[in-house]
Amino acid sequence: MKKIFRPVDFWKSAIMTLPDASFFELVRSVFGKIKTPFNKQILLENLAAFLQRPEIRRNISAYIDEDDAKIIAAVAALGEPAPGEMESFFSGEFSYVRLHDLIVNLEERFILYRFRDEDSGRLALNPVLKTILAPFAAGTPLLFPSTPAPEKKSAAAPPACDDRVLAGIISFVRDEKIFFKAEGEFRKKISELSEDIFPGIDIHALIRGLQVLGILRQEGDALFPDLSKIYGFGQLSERERLEYLAAGICCFIKYSLSPADISPYLYRRRVKSLGSFIHRIVDEMETERLYPPQTIGRIAGILARDFSGGEEIDSATIVTAMEKAGLLVRYPPDNFRLRYATKIADNDPAAGNCAEEKQATPHIAMDTAFSCVVYPGISYSDLMSLALMLSVRETGTAARFELTRDSAIRAFDCGFSARTMLDLLTRLSGGRIDKNMAWTLADWEKRYNEVSLFKGLVLCLSPERRYLAETKPLAGLITATLAPGVFLLDETAGQSAEAVLQKAGVDIFAGQARAGGTKWTAAELDANGSPPGKLPFAPLAQNSSPAQSGGDAPPAVLAISSPETPDSQALPEASALIDGFHSFLEKARFSKEERDELFARIDRRLVLCEAQLQDAAVRYEKLEARGLDYAGKAMIAKQAIALKSPLEIFWTGRTGADHVTGIPVVIEKSGGESALVITPLERDGEGGTEELRIPLGKISLLRRIKKSIFEHDPGMTGRSSH
């Protein structure tokens, strides 16, 4: 982050490099007529001395209102931004014209100045006024509005995702064999079923995000979970899991990935950099406040300036991804709150794998003999084990799972035994397990071990089932007998063998092919039935420094929720100053045009002392024309074309009142009518590049927008504003 104030000599250099006409106009606005002979260096020193006078500094400070304070704080926070960066930052709050007027006005009041850096103009704060401007420069809460969150959380929409939803997705994916259409889109049945199980959740975005992370992988029309990465994901905190998930969703949205383009290895670096960036955004937010999307976007915009992850940051996509991942909870009509559960210590291990969470307090409630409701607070590893052995039924108001024969078979495929599954359910329910469950699991396990089908393809039959090898349908698939009860099948005969076995009445059999390539041994499962996991990404708390290169970044570098802000509401004093200068001007002798010009200067807060009115050097400049003032409109349009100055135009079009801001190109004459051709910069809040042709006679207001005195336009000698 650059220093907020440059040395005073740097400011003096920027003033001295102005063209003579601009320089002397600036000096005349303070000292009036300049006596000859003169020296530019002495005049500049006199100007600096004028700005350091106590009464002048007091008046400059008194004139600063809330909009001024926002501009000052933004220039400091953005670190000497280009005007275009200010337009992006204040998009949605200030129009192009309003922002331009504010910046030019602050330049006229010596609060801002411009300098060129690598062929681009940049805005900076005047170091001569450092003691006045420093409190306003630190007033970042003005830039990031938020409100206290209501005590009742019922006003919020439920979070889009949490660990129970993640477990539901893993269970859902394992339950459905055919997931995708030929073109890679979700089947209609899958979409409809997911809407019932995951109400109000963008399940498509979550699944695609998990695919980008490599936790889910697509193979043809099927979707498989990477079980090792699933358990490894639990080595991160809950907050970091959701941040990585948001990063995965962000990649999917940002790059408009098709299913065939989702490659975890290709996007691994991008996911890590975006995850670190989202981690920093969360650091800047507080859980007890509500933030509009504009504030979160501005936080992202500020942090992006120091972000070296190689990614272009789109704040709207970031906010969308954070909401879909469950980091942000929406409060009507359009505010977000950081989920309380995510604001945990970054070094909190794996959201609950510690011994304290393996306590006897029930984490599930058996609502039927074979189904349970899962409570919040259950550890991640236990949730994932439940996902492997149970089928998800709902994740709305409550998260409910059910033990079925098929779900038990998939758990057996992964190496879980009936005893391991029963022990896990007993522990999590506090011993409230139906007695029939033990017998049922044991029966399913016995039948599972009687017939084993491996992907080699090797068929293993127990002594009681060896007669099946002699049946005509299965005998035709056997190419060799490897050992008693062990038969080699053609490698393409997998589905045919399953169909033959099912037709023969064998409805339970082992098949490693269904397990997604992972099967743990009993020795690999720990005392709680949790298998080993491979950490897919590094903890984000270790990678969230601004430059991601050495040195720890302190949290909350923007201090956006600091309750202390500078007192920018000095309106009574400012009003008193303006009224006093108006009274003084009423008694002075000036022509009507000169008086109008000086009143405009007072109203724009350019007058800091009575001497500026006594010795004023007034050059009247007409900047706007209305209604029937056809000659005035033509003159202003020609001046704007010569100076390439923007124009603000109001006129009555075919659909009623219209408004545009743009750069005038030419005045065209057709018959007896003259029309102004303009290239829009902003039209009713929307950008555009298509030229407009507006008859001068239909224009109700034509206003030339003054360019900054630092923009070095020839002929720009006036400083009027009305």
- Residue 33 contacts residue 615 (beta carbons within 8 Å): yes
- Band of the pLDDT at 288, cuts 50, 70, 90? confident
Report, at the CATH architecture level, how domain 624-705 is classified: Roll (2.30)
Most confident of 348-352, 522-526, 569-573: 522-526
Are domains 8-143 and 624-705 of this chain identical in fold? no
pLDDT (0 to 100) of residue 265: 72
Over residues 562-566, the mean pLDDT reads: 47
Phi then psi for residue 144, to 5 deg, are: -125, 70
The string of DSSP codes covering 440-488 is: HHHHHHHHHHHEEE-SSSEEEE-GGGGGGGGSHHHHTTEEEEEETTEEE
- Residue 594 contacts residue 673 (beta carbons within 8 Å): no
CATH of 8-143, one of 1.10.3470, 1.10.10, 3.30.450, 2.170.130: 1.10.10
Alpha-carbon distance 722 to 535, whole Å?
A: 65
Cis peptide before 457 (omega within 30 of 0): yes
Angle at 636 between CA 719 and CA 91, to 5 degrees: 70
For 537, residues 6+ apart whose C-beta sits below 8 A from its C-beta are 213, 236, 244, 271, 272, 275
Over residues 11-39, the mean pLDDT reads: 85
Of 612, 718, 721, 720, the closest CA to residue 24 belongs to: 718
Alpha-carbon distance 337 to 323, whole Å?
A: 10
Over residues 389-395, the mean pLDDT reads: 94
Cis peptide before 37 (omega within 30 of 0): yes
604-663 per-position pLDDT tens digit: 898 898 888 887 777 667 788 888 888 888 888 888 888 888 888 888 876 777 888 888
Angle at 599 between CA 594 and CA 605, to 5 degrees: 130
- Delimit the domains of the chain by residue range: 8-143, 160-351, 355-524, 624-705
667-694 per-position pLDDT tens digit: 888 777 888 888 887 654 444 567 888 8
563 has pLDDT over 70? no
Would you state the structure tokens that stand for residue 353, as one six-digit string? 């794998």
Judged by average pLDDT, the poorest of 116-125, 147-156, 377-386, 525-534 is 525-534
Q: Name the more confident of 86 and 718.
A: 86
Would you state the structure tokens that stand for residue 439, as one six-digit string? 């017998």
